[in-house]
Structure 1
Amino acid sequence: MLLSDDFQDGNAAGWRTSGGRWSVADETFRQDSVSARATARTGDQSWSDYAVSVRVQPLAYRDSRSSAGVQARVQSDGSHYYLTTRADNKVELGRVVSGRTTVLATADYASALQFWRSLSLVVKGSQLIGVVNGTPLLNATDTRLTRGRAAVATNYATAAFDDVRVDGWTATSPDTQAPLAPGRPSVVEVTPTTVTLTWRPTIDNVGVVDYIVYQGEQFYQQIPVRTVTGTGPVTLPFSPTAASMQFSVAARDAAGNVSLVTDRTSVPQPPSYPKTGDDAVAPSAPGSPVLSGRTADGRGILTWTPATDNVAVREYHVILVTNIDEVRLLAKVSEPTATVTVNGSNPLVRVIAYDAAWNSASSPLVPYGPTPTPTPTA
């Protein structure tokens, strides 16, 4: 760790400010003017590879271009790399050299006032990573700036800053430092039998050598299924019994140190036919499934009121929920009836209707059993 400041001592010793109105209040470092660009710098001009992290709470914006964030490799002439949260619900990673701004990457991210969020800007060689609330959202490569101080900054906004930390990236022997967690998996394509994923890369003090992909049919499951050297795309088979599949990723370095696992991406069971057409209208919700009979071998016969659609309903999925956190696909059928085997305590069932474009609508989740007998009226 190169630097840490939580402002609990009531002062901003070691910080050099320019623009705005800076003060320490309520154990935070505040900038209270929306009428200017404002910067507070700290650290050493010789810093090269490091991560600068801060919690930031935007308090007021002047307009849609306003922002608050963190800077790295700050030069004496004001040149720097930056990671900001913007008033227009974006986060932005960029470079300022000789007063000229170059946007390197952006992503959608809600920027509500009065809420704290964590920003970390990682600079290692030519690699730049913007981490928002623990998730690497932005990546870029740039060689213009190699060394410089760290800073927090506002652009026509007021904000509070807290828990500033600067961590250096140094190789250790033996290497015991795990990589940062990679980005949460995003879905590239879903077919009736597969899902294709990719994710944003991450960084390590020595180097990431591969990524471990995990999946599970239930949210509590996390089983390693694939190891790859890049960030995808990776295509995985979809379990025919899963109501949904959960996917996550971790990074590993050459010493075997494994990062934290990303948040999971959930993908619902796809229909059994390829998606076609550009219809955007979902079917109506099907009726609640009821146990209308049993087969000779004891399986249940479920029926429900059919859904309707502006084109046509192609398929129904029957979903079973047991033991609070166990969710399974019981059947895929083309008509509003299915013969199923149900196990587990206090089982619940629901039905999802799909059209050709995979638009869907779901019935309520109801107990598995016959329609209750109506209470007689006087």
Structure 2
Amino acid sequence: MTTEGDEALLRSLTPSVLGILVRRGADFAAAEDAVQDALVEAVRVWPDGRPRDPKGWLVTVAWRKFLDAARADTARRRREELVDEQPEPGPAPSVDDTLRLYFLCAHPSLTPSSAAALTLRAVGGLTTRQIARAYLVPEATMAQRISRAKRTVSGVRFDRPGDVATVLRVLYLVFNEGHSGDIDLAAEAIRLTRQLAAAIDHPEPAGLLALMLLHHARRAARTTPDGALVPLAEQDRGRWDTRAIAEGIGILRAALARDRLGEFQAQAAIAALHADAPTVEETDWAQIVEWYDELVRLTDSPVVRLNRAVAVGEAEGPRAGLAALAALEESSPGPAGPGEPVPRHTAVAAYLHERDGDLATAARLYAEAARRAPSLAERDHLTRRAARLNARGRL
């Protein structure tokens, strides 16, 4: 069996090896199959002695696997002619090839869920079974999703730079899936974002990495042992990971110093202000409102405006927050469309009414938000808040 060190090395080398095969003329699906075959071969032979050039070994074996498959397919003679003209494999620069792979897996023709799954498979080096367990779906379902995604991007050629923003959104989507099965997707997203930030001269990947680290630092305090949600204001800050906070703030400062502000840097700045406050009472809410103003300028997102209303309520009082919430409702009249944050909006209104002392309205709104909550944990949390206020109202 391979050691844990061998397995970690294989996963780290997977994207650059796959990227090299794609650049040399293999379509994505065939290249990915060849790389997986090479990884299986490595698991078989590396225990007897790891090669001196592990990446070169994987490239050579994967390329031969691809050539064997191409030659065995008589219906693809044109591809065989193409690959036979390519140079002999060997060590090659990895940065550009790896970046191409990030962009390919986040191609706009893919749905967000397919892009996330393909990124975990091709860039992260996870098995289909691991990804399926992490997303709590049958392995056959995930295999079909990944197979369709590979077919979709197989004919894509890179004749222009990829979209960094799309890649970052895919990585953040993976991060927010959290931890289920035997794979910690949040930790995996941090690893992949760290790799991307090191490979590209752009401050936004660093901003996303900082944001992930700062959010991840609060993870141990975010739920109770029985899985109940713990709001930020009630979390035990002694359980926050100070090392991750320090690293995240350091990365953020370096990114902001480049004076090319983006949405993930602004979000990370808000997270840093929360992480930097020794107590919830010492949170610099006025500065958080300023950063939300920057985020509104950058994205004009309804979710950002909703979060800004909460910050205004903390900085200037609950009635100011309710006024900001009312302004948000006026700027986007009519019923919310699919995917819009209706339960979150109602929960924010409930919180601000509770802060303002209107417990009956707050309880009613918490109950309404609970009925529409997107997860069981959120539903239970909102239901408990409604019940607590109703009990106080009967006293």
Q: Return the TM-score normalized by structure 1.
A: 0.28
Bigger strand fraction: 1
Bigger helix fraction: 2
Q: Which has the higher contact order (CA 8 A, sep 6+)?
A: 1
**Greater Rg by CA:** 1
